[in-house]
Amino acid sequence: MKKLINNVDNVVDEMLNGMIAAHPDYVQRVPGTEVVVRTGNKKTDKVVLISGGGSGHEPAHGGFVGLGMLDAAVAGAVFTSPTPDQVYEAIQATECGKGALLIIKNYTGDVMNFEMAADMAGDEDIEVAQVIVADDVAVENSTWTTGRRGIAGTIFVHKIAGAAAEAGKDLAEVKAVAEKVIANVRSMGMAIDACTVPAVGKPSFDLAEDEVEIGIGIHGEPGTHREQISTADQTVDTLLDKILAEGIYGAGDEVAVMVNGMGGTPLSELYICNNRVAAVLADKGIKIAKTIVGNYMTSLDMEGFSITLLKLDDELKAYLNAPADTPAFTQF
């Protein structure tokens, strides 16, 4: 294993400290915790948004703390859910009387621990609501989930619900907007090489030189099947066919597109993949309102990518285009 780390036991702590050192105008760390909270352009009269999960998905989730997105992010150990106490610390550190919305990716540990934290906050008369993102069309159930996994589509939930909160919507309204995004967002990913968890020291699965893994998750888990490596266009078609088979995207619809790198894929290759996404959607009469390409929800050093489509209406489009300013996402 080759990693630019000092000690496997200190990866998350040193990563968070390095993040704070790089972006003090955006974020700060709650002392004694793995919680990153917003510092710049901070409002004190809004619904707060809190998300998080195991580390290893950077820039998610701390990179999306800031204006128009999250108010706090909670970092567990690599690919391990944060504890209820840590999530509760995030709620206490940010909630300002308007309530908190927890944005949870559908993994069993995340759901259980965030829900426990919500109960703890409720005991203190803090109003907490939650939404669960389950956008991965690859599998209906997996080793770590009941139902579909939550993957890169979570970023669109952060962005759009964050804009609604920034606009002064109340907790019920912000939750409703988040749920609308969840109902209209679908994703699927693939890998040409696995990631290596520092504490494990070896790849999470093995692929031959001519193999790819289709339908991977974001915790190094293998996908639905392996197949022989093909062109970028053919790979995009494989993923898009499954997403479009959901039946919620059709001619005349307007969508947002995310081509998301898994951590080890060059940006040039992501743009090649996006070129095919744009061509396929144009051929089907689906209009692209916005495209983002880059690393947003990664899996350490995994080589591969995912595609996310979000069907838009006027409300979602307006919030998607609203200002945001975070370490990993800036839009004005």
Q: Dump pLDDT digits (tens) for 89-134.
A: 999 999 999 999 999 999 999 999 999 999 999 999 999 999 999 9
The amino acid at residue 207 is L
- Looking at residue 187, its pLDDT comes to 98
b (16+ CB within 10 A) / e for 260-289: bbbbbbeeebbeebbebbeebbeeeebebe
- Looking at residue 248, its pLDDT comes to 97
Q: What backbone phi and psi angles, to 5 degrees, belong to 11?
A: -60, -50
Query: For this structure, is 219 an active site residue?
Result: yes
Please state the rounded mean pLDDT for residues 9-28. 97
What's the mean per-residue pLDDT of the chain?
96
Active-site pick, 23, 57, 61, 158:
57
- Looking at residue 280, its pLDDT comes to 98
Q: Distance between CA 178 and CA 82 in Å, rounded?
A: 22
Show the tokens assigned to 153: 């589509």
The amino acid at residue 1 is M
Active-site pick, 23, 61, 219, 225:
219
Q: Are 26 and 54 in contact (CB under 8 A)?
A: no
Residue % of the chain over a pLDDT of 90: 93
pLDDT of residue 155 exceeding 70: yes
Q: Are 327 and 19 in contact (CB under 8 A)?
A: yes
The per-residue pLDDT for range 260-307, each reduced to its tens digit, is: 999 999 999 999 999 999 999 999 999 999 999 999 999 999 999 999
pLDDT of residue 243 exceeding 90: yes
Please say whether the dihedral angle defined by the alpha carbons of residues 238, 320, 73 and 96, taken in this order, is positive or negative: negative
**How many residues comprise the chain?**
332
The per-residue pLDDT for range 35-66, each reduced to its tens digit, is: 999 997 777 899 999 999 999 999 999 999 99
pLDDT of residue 144 exceeding 80: no
> If pLDDT is split at 50, 70 and 90, which confidence band does 147 have?
confident
Instruction: Give residue for tokens 């069907």.
Output: 311
Show the tokens assigned to 17: 């400290």
The per-residue pLDDT for range 319-329, each reduced to its tens digit, is: 999 999 999 99
The per-residue pLDDT for range 203-218, each reduced to its tens digit, is: 999 999 999 999 999 9
Please state the rounded mean pLDDT for residues 223-249. 97
Strand order in the sheet with 303-311: 225-228, 211-214, 185-193, 303-311, 254-261, 287-294
pLDDT of residue 142 exceeding 90: no
Spatial CA neighbour of 3 closest among 269, 193, 195: 195
Please say whether the dihedral angle defined by the alpha carbons of residues 276, 151, 288 and 322, taken in this order, is positive or negative: negative
* Orientation of helix 232-244 relative to helix 267-283, angle to 10°: 50
Please state the rounded mean pLDDT for residues 235-251. 98
Spatial CA neighbour of 219 closest among 120, 85, 106, 101: 106
Q: Distance between CA 293 and CA 122 in Å, rounded?
A: 39
Q: Is 201 helix (H, G, I), strand (E, B) or coil?
A: coil
Q: How far is CA 331 from the centre of its chain?
A: 17
Q: Is 59 helix (H, G, I), strand (E, B) or coil?
A: coil
- Looking at residue 208, its pLDDT comes to 93
> If pLDDT is split at 50, 70 and 90, which confidence band does 143 have?
low
Those residues with Cβ within 8 angstroms of residue 289's Cβ, 6 or more apart along the chain or in another chain = 254, 255, 256, 312, 317, 320
Q: Distance between CA 266 and CA 68 in Å, rounded?
A: 28
The amino acid at residue 187 is S
